[in-house]
Amino acid sequence: MENLPQSRRTFLTTLTLLLASGSLLVRYLTPRSSGKRRVIVSAAAADVPPGGALLFRTERVALLRDDTGFYALSLVCTHLGCTVTVTEDALACPCHGSRFDRQGKVLKGPADRSLERFRVEVKGERIEVVG
């Protein structure tokens, strides 16, 4: 094997390490989403009462219905991630007292961001919440 000068060997080693770490960094920063549509939950439209909500506690999603139709909110509090509860007029977090209106907007902190809203697709008599 050829005996490379020390500075050339150091350069090649450094270049290899930079390329490897750059590749790992790009892989880490790139979203893992495959772009595929993923149904988080689905329900019969008739199971969501007008003005009410259907809760999926395991998935921490609420499927709500108002005069304009169906919509879905995450039940994960935007403060520190506790599960919010749904009342007649608001969503409330039991951990530190944040409150959100039924559209998910903050009424009272410490949360300072709205609840995440999911896309809803109506498929005949079924409603799909899509992530």
Q: How far is the CB of 92 from ligand FES (least distance, A)?
A: 9
* Contacts with ligand FES, 62-91, as mask; x by CB under 6 A: ---------------x-xxxx---------
List the interface residues with ligand FES, window 4-63 (CB under 6 A): none
Cα three-residue angle 40-42-44, rounded to 5 degrees: 170
Question: Rule CB under 6 A: which of 91-110 touch ligand FES?
Answer: 93, 95-98, 110
Provide the minimum distance between the beta carbon of 57 and ligand FES in the complex, in angstroms, as a whole number.
Answer: 16
How many whole angstroms separate alpha carbon 33 and alpha carbon 71?
23
Distance CA 72, CA 60 (A): 11
- Please, what is the Cα angle at 6 between 5 and 12, to 5 degrees? 95
Considering CB under 6 A, how many residues would be counted as binding ligand FES? 12
Q: Extract the tokens encoding 51.
A: 């003005």
Shortest separation between residue 131's beta carbon and ligand FES, angstroms: 21
CB 29 to ligand FES: min, Å: 27
Buried b (16+ CB within 10 A) or exposed e, 15-50: eeeeeeeeeeeeeeeeeeeeeeeeebbebebeebee
Nearer to ligand FES, 49 or 81 (CB): 81
Question: Measured between alpha carbons, how far is 128 from 120 in angstroms, rounded to an integer?
Answer: 6
- Whose Cβ is closer to ligand FES: residue 91's or residue 127's? 91
Q: Please report, as ranges, the residues that interact with ligand FES according to CB under 6 A.
A: 77, 79-82, 93, 95-98, 110-111
